[in-house]
Structure 1
Amino acid sequence: MEQGKHEPPGGLLRIFLDIWPGFGPPLTHSFYMSKLSYYKTMVKGILLLSLVFSAIPAIKAQTSFGITAGYGKSSLTKIQGSIEPFSRYSSRNSFWGGLNARFALGEHGFFLATSLIYNQRGYDYKLQNTTGANNTLKDSAFLQTLNYTDLNLILLKKFSLDERSGFFVGVGPVVNVFVSGKEKISMNYFGNTIPSSTTTKSNLQTGSAAGNYKRIYPSLSVMAGFEYRRFSVAVHYNMPLDYYYIDAGKKLQHSIRSFGVSAGFTLFTSHKGDPVLRERKVFVPKETKEPKVVQPVKIDSTLDTDGDSIPDYKDKCPGHKGTATYEGCPVPDSDGDGVNDDADKCPQVEGPVSNNGCPEFKEPEVPNSPDTIRFTIYFEQAKSELKTTGFKTLDEVVRLMKANPRLVAQFNGHTDAHGSVEANSIRAFSRAAICADYVASFFIERTRLTVAAFSNRKPVADLNDPSVQWKNRRVEILLYQK
């Protein structure tokens, strides 16, 4: 081998270069030299990242590791020295993905987030002429796709909502390392003399000279997002701090920016050493004190303040005389009608003492005239629902009252002997009220309708004969002129 020259590598390195994305043939001398230079840069970046990863756990910080992926748009920020309209340049879709790690810094919600990301960038350029002479350029398109490996060092601030979720914002530098790229140029001409052409260039040269892509260029990343347990979403803005390419002919400097969204998932978290106590809400007691011994309280079992023969320690109403049935409290009057519940046959419905606490319904005076019209509606046992025959009867009542505005209606509710006095009083009134409400729904004035309930006090059949009890479960309707 001649001194000063390098032969293309062989063996495993050659196979690796063949299968690595974007490193396909032709395997020329200059190609290998550019890729070897790239590997030197990559090794330095990986060593730097490894140094950061190994140094931070040494301070016993809370750490977490995960994966991330995202989508966004990349476009040119500026072209220094260009006089072309910027509208000819458009953005391109970009995708990225990689690994990330987070290290807690102190106890105030600050973290150092590092990530190694494989990223795509680029832009589109289009020129179009609507008219032109033969053999002149009609339109052209330039498509650029660049692949980078990004090393991010972001300072994050987390604002916790609870132990599982919170918002975060971050800012920090990014080292963008060129991996591979592709340029595609398409040209069309007026007329048929010069055919259309498409040229694709994959082996892009790297270096600091004009016409080459920089191997490394810096940028600044700003982000904000939300995380819940192991999942996170964020928006990113990557602003270039230097150009990444210098046009060989025009000496124009290109810089590129990107904006997008990402989703992440934490694979595992380590809480070794001193965790962020405020974030985890861990209580650390300063000292342990002996529990106080509570002395038992002596109770005077003979004390009876209200003199109801129930000692105070058993009396729920020690200031009022009561009975043992109600644990020392007075007998209640649930409906407030002056009749205690023990003597009230209708404890939930107000009624006079003369009727044992149940309501009284006095039947209004109905003229004993042959002109009085009578109807009867029957009900099922212990029910107040109208049946089909009942609706037909009430429809006839409505028809008669609309035909004669002087007619008034009296609805008298009755029950059989089943059930308590209170239940029968309520049921009798409910049956009569349902009938009156139905009639009133046809715009019959309420002043023409009267409701009364008689429980089982006015039977029309033997209360002790089950076979005829159905006759007592009724509402009698009386129509007369007032």
Structure 2
Amino acid sequence: MSIVRTALPLVLLTSVLTGCAGLQKTDWPTCAAVGGAIGAGLGAIESTSWAGGGALYVGGMAAAYCWVKGDGDEDGDGVPDSRDKCPGTPKGVQVDADGCPPPAPAPVVEEAVVVKEETIVIRDVHFEFNKATLTPADKDVLSTVATRLKQETSTAQLSVTGHTDSVGSDAYNQKLSQRRADSVVKYLVENGVPQSSFVSVSGAGESQPVADNKTADGRAMNRRTEIKINR
């Protein structure tokens, strides 16, 4: 019986200390509580008067051992230092089982959508009556268009087509639409749009109306110049 009383405390104490060694330093209260309970039991083997002393002694030893030998967590990320492959992680950063922040997602690169073909319709350039001469107001409109076209790539191809309403003969309107298309291109080139960008300059006369020629508003819409951009 004396051998049991001698060996049992050593076995239990060793078990407590071994278990505490696998915990973190911050778990010392748990080690103290478990050690205290076992210490009380060991003391009671001798007599009830030893229960309190045993609890204090074994609990203190277990807590101290846990603090000294226990695994720490210096950066407070919840992963013990012995397994933390990324020590010093800033507080509040989510980490994986190895204590490392998850890799940043690869940036999403969106390809710019290039419209292959676009048409600029100029309706506010009406020229002087029965002429292809640009008015000051027409030049203001075309200056804005020139700024827009100069932003295009050097490979952009521009096709300009003049249109008229149905007033007058077909032959006359065909020639008038051509002269007006030429006037528009001439002004754009003078304002910095490369001449080489224009691959086609033509007049369609009254053959391609977009509105009713029987009304004044419809005829105004048909008197237009269209610039088609092919990229």
Q: Give TM-score, length-normalised by structure 1.
A: 0.22
- In terms of fraction of residues, the more strand-rich structure is 1
Flag the structure with larger Rg. Answer: 1
* Higher RCO (CA < 8 A, seq sep 6+): 2
